[in-house]
Amino acid sequence: MEEPEVERRCIEIIARSKLLPLEAVTRDKTFDELSMDSLDKINISFEVEEVFAITIPDESLSSLRTVGDVIDGVLRLRQPSHPEPLPAP
């Protein structure tokens, strides 16, 4: 999935969850501006994990502040920086 598609899907998840129009959810919007509380954050993170088949570590979750943070986090987590080592014989 390319970056624009990741961005579109993340915005869709947040907009649907908060019953907002798509155009209201932009990269620069903070969670506070979207009236997202801690439970919204957990809920949306769960959706994102399901859709992109990723696991967001606790320490990353606590640092999320904006829509852009979510998108960038997904892009980072879905591309492992180190390839999986081959099993040793």
Partner 1 sequence: MKRVVITGLGCLTPIGATVPEFRDSLFEGRTGIGPIGLLPEAIDGSNGIRFSQMAAIADFDPDQHFSSGVITATNPTAQYAIVAARQAAKQANLMSHHASEDIAIILGCSTGGRSSEEVETAKLYYRNARVHPLTVTRTMASAGASHVSIDLGITGPVLAITTACASATHAIGLAFQMVRSGAVTAAITGGHEAPLTFGFLRAWDSIRVVSPTSCRPFAKDRDGMTLGEGAAMFVLETLDSALARNAQIFGEIVGFGMSADATHITQPQSAGAARAMRKALADANAFPEEVGYINAHGTGTQANDQVEAAAIHETFGPLGSTIPVSSTKGLHGHSMGATGAVEALATILALKEQDLPANAGITSAEQVDPTLNLDIILGEPRVADSDKPIALSNSLAFGGLNAVLAFRHYIP
Q: Which parts of this chain interact with partner 1 (CB under 8 A)?
A: 37-39, 42, 46, 58, 61
Give least dist CB 18 to partner 1, A. Answer: 15
- The number of helix segments (H) and strand segments (E) in the chain equals 4, 0
Instruction: For 57, list phi and psi in degrees, rounded to 5.
Output: -65, 155
Instruction: Using the minimum distance from each CB to partner 1, give the nearer residue, 28 or 58.
Output: 58
Instruction: Using the minimum distance from each CB to partner 1, give the nearer residue, 27 or 54.
Output: 54
Q: Which of 36, 38, 56, 37 is nearest to 46 (CA)?
A: 56
Instruction: Using the minimum distance from each CB to partner 1, give the nearer residue, 5 or 58.
Output: 58
